[in-house]
Amino acid sequence: MKYLEEFQNPELARGLLEDIRATVTRPWAVMEVCGGQTHTIIRHGIDQLLPDGIELIHGPGCPVCVTPLEVIDKAMEIAGRPGVIFCSFGDMLRVPGTDRDLFRVRGEGGDVRVVYSPLDALRIARENPQREVVFFGIGFETTAPPNAMTVHQARKQGITNFSMLVSHVLVPPAIEAIMTSPDCRVQGFLAAGHVCSVMGTEEYPQLAERHRVPIVVTGFEPLDILEGIRRTVRQLERGEHTVENAYQRAVRPEGNPAARAMLADVFEVTDRAWRGIGVIPRSGWRLSERYREYDAEHRFDVTGITTRESGLCRSGEVLQGLIKPNQCEAFGTTCTPRNPLGATMVSSEGACAAYYLYRRLAAPSAPSALEVSSVG
C-alpha cells in the first residue's frame, strides 16, 4: 500500500479499493483506452494496488504512438524541403521514422518549429508569406477540433501559404477493432474522458450493446481511475453492460456541439493505419474535399516513400494489450526514452515510456496474461 499515501485523498482511494475488493469474485480484464490514464495508472501503481485477478490492459490511446510510420516519414520529407517551416507539437520530435526523427531533420538544417497550439502555426504563416508553413495535425478527437478550427481560420483569413499534414484517429472504431479481434481479452473499458468532452457519449451505447461490454467514461486523475474501475467491475460482476459517465464534471452526453459541427465541416472519415496495429476501417479523419487545398499531402508530392519498421519493436502487441512493455526483449536495454526504437517509448503517454519512467523494469511475474484469461 506504499503508493496510497501519494493520492490526493488517500482515504477516498482506500475506500474505493476496499469496495473493489469486496465486489470482485473472479478475474476480469479491463482496458484503459487513453494514454493519459495509462500514465496515471503506472505512476501511482494502481495496477499493483488492485485485487489479484483484476488486470488492466493498456490501450492504444496515445496519439504519438499510433501515428503511422508512413505519415512520420512524410512529415520528415516535407520538413526537410527548402522554404518550408514545419510546425509540430513537441512530443513528435523524437518519434522514430524509418531512419531519423524530426529532431535530426532540424539538425540537418530543416526549419522545424514546436508550437503549443495549431493557431501558432497559422500566425507563423501570416508572418512569413514567402514561406510554406506546414502543421503536423495528429491526435484523437480531443486534438482534432483545434486543428479543424485552424484550417477554417486559414481560409477565413485568406492565408494561402499554410497547409496541414493530417493524421487523426478515432476512438470508437478502435474499440470496435479490439472487440472483434480473435485475440481479444478485454471485458470492460475505461473510455477516454477528454475525447468524450468533445464527442459526448452517444456512440458508446451501441458498442456496449453489440459486444456486451461495460464502458465507463473516466477521467485520468488517480481517483477517477479507481472510480472507473469500481463501476466497471460492479457491472461485470452483475453481468451488465451499460455506458456510465464517471467524469460528469467534464463530459456532457452531447459533448461540445460547436466543436462537433466544425469537425463535420472540415474533416471526413477515412480508413486509417495505426502504427503497430494496421488499418482499422473508418478509424480516422482527413481533410474533406472542401478543404483539399490545405492538405499538405495534396500540396507536396510525398508519394513513393518506403517505410521500414524496427524488427525488434513489439509496440503493436503492447498497444493491443497482448504483452506488457517489460516483456519486450529490447525494453530498457536497446530501447530507452533516450534511444527509442518504437513510438511507445517516446511520449510519456506511451506504455513503454511509462513503464520505463516508473521503473517497471522486470517482466511481470504475477499472473501472466494467459493464466488470467484461462481462469476467466
Partner 1 sequence: MCLAVPGRVMEIEERDGARMAVVDFGGVVKEVCLEYLPDLRVGEYAIVHVGFALQRLDEESARRTLELFAELGLLQEEFGDPWEAAAAAAAIANAEVQG
Helices (H), the chain: 10-23, 35-43, 46-49, 63-66, 69-79, 102-107, 118-127, 144-156, 171-180, 193-199, 204-211, 222-238, 257-266, 296-299, 315-319, 351-357, 369-375
Taking the C-alpha atoms of residue 148 and residue 137, their distance in angstroms, rounded to an integer, is 9
Residue 176 makes contact with partner 1 by CB under 8 A: no
- Indicate the SS3 state at residue 265: helix
Residue 221 makes contact with partner 1 by CB under 8 A: yes
Write the interaction track for partner 1 spanning residues 97-136; mark x where CB under 8 A is met and - where it is not.
------x----------x-xxxxx----------------
Residue from 23, 98, 128, 256 touching partner 1 (CB under 8 A): that is 256
* Residue with smaller CB distance to ligand SF4, 266 or 330: 330
Taking the C-alpha atoms of residue 3 and residue 329, their distance in angstroms, rounded to an integer, is 28
* Residue with smaller CB distance to partner 1, 9 or 206: 9
Give the three cell numbers for residue 149: 478550427
* Residue with smaller CB distance to partner 1, 37 or 232: 37
Residue from 76, 198, 296, 341 touching ligand SF4 (CB under 6 A): that is 341
CB of 250 to partner 1, least distance (A): 5
Handedness of CA 278, 284, 288, 291 (dihedral sign): negative
Residue from 60, 96, 110, 145 touching partner 1 (CB under 8 A): that is 145
| Binding to ligand SF4, residues 310-329 (CB under 6 A) | 312-315, 318, 325, 328
Residue 262 makes contact with partner 1 by CB under 8 A: yes
Q: Which residues of 234-273 are buried (b: 16+ CB within 10 A; e: fewer)?
A: bbbeeeebebbbbbeeebeeebbeebbebbeebbebbebb
Residue from 250, 279, 366, 375 touching partner 1 (CB under 8 A): that is 250
Residue 167 makes contact with partner 1 by CB under 8 A: no
Longest Cα–Cα distance in the chain: 66
| Binding to ligand SF4, residues 345-364 (CB under 6 A) | 345, 352
Handedness of CA 263, 267, 273, 276 (dihedral sign): negative
Cβ atoms of 288 and 266 within 8 Å: the answer is yes
Cβ atoms of 140 and 170 within 8 Å: the answer is yes
Binding partner of residue 61 among partner 1, ligand SF4, none, CB under 5 to 8 Å per kind?
A: partner 1
Give the three cell numbers for residue 198: 468533445
CB of 180 to ligand SF4, least distance (A): 24
List interacting residues with partner 1 (CB under 8 A).
8, 34-36, 43, 61-64, 89-91, 93-94, 103, 114, 116-120, 139-140, 142-143, 145-146, 149, 153, 156-157, 194, 197-198, 221, 249-252, 256, 258-259, 262, 337-339, 347-349
Q: List residues near ligand SF4 by CB under 6 A.
A: 312-315, 318, 325, 328, 330-331, 335, 340-342, 344-345, 352
